[in-house]
Amino acid sequence: MSANLRHIVVAGPSGSGKSSVGRALADHFGLPFIDGDDLHPAANIAKMSAGTALDDADRMPWLDIVASTLAAASEGLVVACSALARRYRDQILRGCPDAMFIELRVPAAELERRMLARSHFMPPALLRSQLEAWEPLGEDEPGASVAADQPIADVVAEAVAALED
Ligand SMILES: Nc1ncnc2c1ncn2[C@@H]1O[C@H](COP(=O)(O)OP(=O)(O)O)[C@@H](O)[C@H]1O
Ligand SMILES: O=C(O)[C@H](O)[C@@H](O)[C@H](O)[C@H](O)COP(=O)(O)O
């Protein structure tokens, strides 16, 4: 694994599999994993739990923490972080210029099914706002987009292939 593949952000809307895929990808590469959920300021968790979507002012301090956590991980790190919009990904890149994004693509109906089936602070009703905020990864952005409505092992295999391409 080359040095510039060591700072990986697994991105996508709530329920897309960031935590599940991120952990498995980290295991594959022998890297640590951090869930971006655990890096949110407490006020953000409280806001989402109460059913209100985050706005840019809420997300910016969190994205700075994600970026600085990545940049400080000299041996590499996989972080699960929605990074829904390009400006959010740009902000991560400002703090961690060699970050690579693995975007997880899942149809909305499957996202809803997964969110309804789990117990999590993120209410399923916020899915619509997640999808409205989501700007697909551009071809000129670092990383790759992977179909994530398939078994996790297959998602990870595609992500590994894309990162090593
Ligand atoms: N590829 C997959 N196929 C089926 N279920 C999945 C898949 N990836 C994740 N899940 C399930 O969907 C739910 C959300 O996954 P999670 O990894 O927490 O997503 P996120 O971190 O993006 O919110 C969990 O219950 C998880 O077990
Ligand atoms: O930017 C945001 O609106 C939030 O960060 C959101 O995208 C994230 O999804 C939450 O942390 C919920 O956690 P899960 O993504 O793990 O569902």
Spell out the domains of the chain, with CATH numbers in brackets.
3-164 (3.40.50.300)
Q: How many residues does the chain have?
A: 165
Locate the ligand 2 atom nearest the alpha carbon of residue 36 and give its number. Answer: 11
54 lines ligand 2 (CB under 6 A): yes
Low-confidence ranges of the chain (pLDDT < 50): none
Distance between CA atoms of residues 111 and 103, nearest Å: 14
What integer pLDDT is reported at residue 99 of this predicted model?
97
Residue 5 has a pLDDT of 67
Report how far Cα 164 is from the mean position of its chain's Cα atoms: 19
Per the CB < 8 A criterion, the answer to whether 11 and 79 are in contact is no
What pLDDT sits at residue 21? Answer: 98
Q: Is 20 in the pocket of ligand 1 (CB under 6 A)?
A: yes
- 16 CB less than 6 Å from ligand 2? no
13 lines ligand 1 (CB under 6 A): no
How far apart (Å, rounded) are the C-alpha atoms in residues 120 and 157?
27
Ligand 1 within 6 A of 118 CB? yes
At residue 2, the pLDDT reads: 56
Look at residues 66, 98, 89 and name the one whose alpha carbon lies nearest to residue 135.
89
pLDDT tens track for 61-108: 999 999 999 999 999 999 999 999 999 999 999 999 999 999 999 999
Instruction: Please provide the DSSP assignment of 79-116 as one string.
Output: EE----SHHHHHHHHHHSTT-EEEEEE--HHHHHHHHH
21 in Cβ contact with 155 (< 8 Å): yes
Q: Which listed ligand is nearest to 18 at the C-alpha? A: 1
